[in-house]
Structure 1
């Protein structure tokens, strides 16, 4: 049962922040010691979930990636890759940042993002607006990554709310399905105008 508290729960990348910087994967492949770009891409994603979910440290993640590529995991290489990776995910959509902030006049606004802990620290330092939200949940910090129901339950508990109070916004349909399965409303993000229309329809029901 809803407590009539409207809470908009945003994904970060692909909604408020931009996806990975174009060309970043090729640049990191070169930093790795010359791995082919397609092999690097495959290893990068194959090892990613434990890193996102806080089960791997940055050093453990990059060591796993390099070992999968049969490359040595020198500490300097690991650190160069870590910093390049953080930079590749550092861009935000300023229009969406402003829109999310404006919603705090009519709703609580929170964030749930799949992001490693060290990336989260860098993002928090670079984006002070995050500190003004009602709650921020990073997968690497809460040890649960979407679409794991535990990630959504964390937000419900942290905000002392009911799932029915939430509208979850994400650009990945599987994550929206997981939120709906828990009892939240959900919106698959395709753009600002579509989201604004969905929120205009949802808010009067709270």
Structure 2
């Protein structure tokens, strides 16, 4: 079923925004005096509950410090939290400009795995996000990709059908999850290929 709408649903990091700044994890490891490799492993292993709003920032960093046998104190937690937010703060200005122009041809929405406090900082730094038709951050909706609930949230929020969406993401598991609920989906690799894929999809919908 389709309501004949044209909704392009973007991932954030790896598509519109850049991946984490190189060297950031090593810098955070130094902040708490942990080995870089062990810090990186623990950082990622503990991330899913934080992304999905099942854990606060303080809880996330407390868990990491305890697993690394490092002292737990509020100053260190705040230093790590702010360094983490800053490490994810860069955007690709070319894609940002394209996304804003695309609103002349389609509805544009965003679905990103990002903790609640990161989402607040990102919205403050990138006010253009508020002009999109819908913005869904995992830390705000308590569901993270590839959980189907994250995609269903967007369908419900926009009062659309899954077939009305073209979902863009740089991770195969997320693309497959979107397709599994009936969305069209495209694996992002580079900007030129992205614009061609969106143009092709919009043309097919126009027919």
Query: CA separation in 2, counterparts of 1:201 and 1:131?
Result: 27
Counterpart position of 1:71: 70
**1:151-162 equivalent positions in 2, closer than 5 A:** 151-162=150-161
Counterpart position of 2:6: 6
Counterpart position of 2:98: 99
Counterpart position of 1:40: 39
Output the TM-score relative to the length of structure 1: 0.99
The runs of at least 4 aligned residues of structure 1 exceeding 4 Å deviation read none
Query: CA separation in 2, counterparts of 1:124 and 1:201?
Result: 30
Counterpart position of 1:166: 165
1:197 CA displacement: 1.0
1:205 CA displacement: 2.3
SS of equivalent residue, structure 1 residue 105: coil
Give ranges in structure 2 of 5+ residues lacking alignment: none
Give ranges in structure 1 of 5+ residues lacking alignment: none
Query: CA separation in 2, counterparts of 1:114 and 1:90?
Result: 14
Structure 1 vs Structure 2 CA RMSD: 0.5
Counterpart position of 1:187: 186
Query: CA separation in 1, counterparts of 2:95 and 2:67?
Result: 37
1:73 CA displacement: 1.3
Counterpart position of 1:130: 129
SS of equivalent residue, structure 2 residue 103: helix
